[in-house]
Amino acid sequence: MKKLVILGAGTAGTMMVNKMNAVLNRDEWQITIVDQDPTHYYQPGFLFIPFGIYNRNDVLKPKKDFLPANVETVFSKIEMIEPDNNRVHIEGKRILDYDFLIIATGTRIHPEETEGLVGDEWHQSIFDFYTVEGAYNLSRKLKNWEGGRMVLNIAEMPIKCPVAPLEFVFLADWWFTEQGIRDKVEIEYVTPLPGAFTKPRASRLLGDFLTKKNIKLIPEFDIGNVDSEKKIISDYEGREIDYDLLVTIPTNMGDEIIGKSGMGNEFNYVPTDPQTLRSKDFENIFVLGDATDLPSSKAGSVAHFQSDILFENLLDAIDEQPLRAKFDGHANCYIESGFGKGILIDFNYDTEPLPGKFPLPGVGPFSLLEETKMNHYGKMMFRWMYWNLLLRGAELPIGSEMLMAGKRM
């Protein structure tokens, strides 16, 4: 029997196991998927929890519901990968051999990387919303908050879903308005980037939105330290910003086992060929989703587009053929902008977000780089698509390759 092992049963690993299970001959192949956590998280939903739009039950389901019954599922901690010996050590002294390995171990927040961030004030006056607990605790804080200065800080790039912090402040502006306390709240957006976003054209547009919503942008701030007693964040050049409520996007890093196995870069992301998605160092290892070191967004949409490419390339690799499919860096993000509206952006490695209609050129129904109600409905509908189609590896009406049709230069 040949063996395919998939590490990680999040968005990327789950999509991939369903795709591979549908085509690999079961008389020849044994598929195993490993993850330490039996709960699947709908991560795009975390954003809505602080504002009471979703609750915890909306974003959690058992992983088992989305994994094929005829695949071996192991809910255990991964201890170590030995890529030179084609095997993985998991908890309980078990060893999994593989012919091919897919690494989809994702990325997590590491607040301990910033001095002073974790302490007595963690989840008291300092919150993250990249975990269910953080988002839930923040919802409880916001319920009774009477106003003051709310600072959102991005500690270090790259982060998962680079638009989420913007969406957070847009929604906060809306939410405080609804609560009737917007005039008592100052919102500041403090980022290490030179502007609101990474891509120049979208950065300008989103920067204008910040201004319109009376949110102050403080760029090029590399946080060095948090004084949680005095409620001050400072950067490496001594600039200080005081806050009453700090919402942090802590340093994001790949899984520790990547570092432990000597397979990662300085963020524990796996060096990956940007087009074929094969590991740069090992011929029989492929990498998917947030676990890669690629200069593409760390987001579910990207993992989805990558999964189509990886599927084809893995089949080529199994047939000992050259890898033919090439990933173009395609990302597609709905950005909640508050008051029931949203902005949609679609881009890849080479093309920055452009205006136009999506997914049908000239028709829509969604508008690129514009704020519309329809874009917001798209975002809200997506949760159903995610649970019912995407994770199961079904075809979606959006191709993995970015299209120029429908876009205006």
Partner 1 sequence: MSEKQFAGVNVTVDDEGFMIDYTQWNEDIARGLAKEIGIEELNDKHFMVLNFMRKEFKEKGTGPSLRKLKNESGVNTKELYGLFPKGPAKKAALIAGITKPVGCI
Name the residue nearer to partner 1 (CB basis): 3 or 239: 239
43 near partner 1, judged by CB under 8 A: no
Name the residue nearer to partner 1 (CB basis): 190 or 331: 331
Strand order of the β-sheet with 215-218 is: 126-127, 245-249, 148-154, 185-190, 215-218
Instruction: Mark residue 106 as left, alpha or beta (left: phi above 0; alpha: psi -120 to 50; beta: remaining).
Output: left
Closest separation in Å from C-beta 338 to partner 1: 24
44 near partner 1, judged by CB under 8 A: no
From 267, 305, 303, select the one nearest 287 (Cα to Cα): 303
- The label of the residue with tokens 């001050």 reads 232
297 near partner 1, judged by CB under 8 A: yes
DSSP3 helix / strand / coil % (the chain, rounded to 5) = 30, 30, 40
158 near partner 1, judged by CB under 8 A: yes
Binding-site residue total for partner 1 (CB under 8 A)?
21
Stretch that binds partner 1, among 49-57, 83-91, 118-126, 156-164 (CB under 8 A): 156-164
Residues 231 and 244: beta-carbon distance below 8 Å: yes
259 near partner 1, judged by CB under 8 A: no
User: What tokens were used for 174?
Assistant: 């809306």
Residues 188 and 216: beta-carbon distance below 8 Å: yes
Name the residue nearer to partner 1 (CB basis): 214 or 265: 265
- Which 231-250 residues touch partner 1, going by CB under 8 A? 236-237
From 404, 400, 407, 265, select the one nearest 329 (Cα to Cα): 400
The number of beta carbons lying within 10 Å of the beta carbon of residue 360 is: 12
Site string for partner 1, 325-364 (x = CB under 8 A): ----x-x---------------------------------
- Contacting residue, 41, 75, 145, 267, with partner 1 by CB under 8 A: 267
Closest separation in Å from C-beta 295 to partner 1: 5
279 near partner 1, judged by CB under 8 A: no
From 36, 42, 4, 41, select the one nearest 23 (Cα to Cα): 4
Residues 148 and 245: beta-carbon distance below 8 Å: yes
- Contacting residue, 52, 119, 262, 295, with partner 1 by CB under 8 A: 295
**Which helix (H) or strand (E) element contains residue 258?**
helix 256-260
137-173 burial code (b ≥16 CB/10 A, e <16)? bbbebbeebeeebbbbbbbbebbbbbbbbbbbbbbbb
156 near partner 1, judged by CB under 8 A: yes
Name the residue nearer to partner 1 (CB basis): 91 or 220: 220
Stretch that binds partner 1, among 141-149, 262-270, 315-323, 374-382 (CB under 8 A): 262-270
- Contacting residue, 30, 125, 177, 198, with partner 1 by CB under 8 A: 198
Q: Which residues bind to partner 1, rule: CB under 8 A?
A: 156-159, 162, 193, 198-199, 220, 222, 224, 236-237, 265-267, 295-297, 329, 331
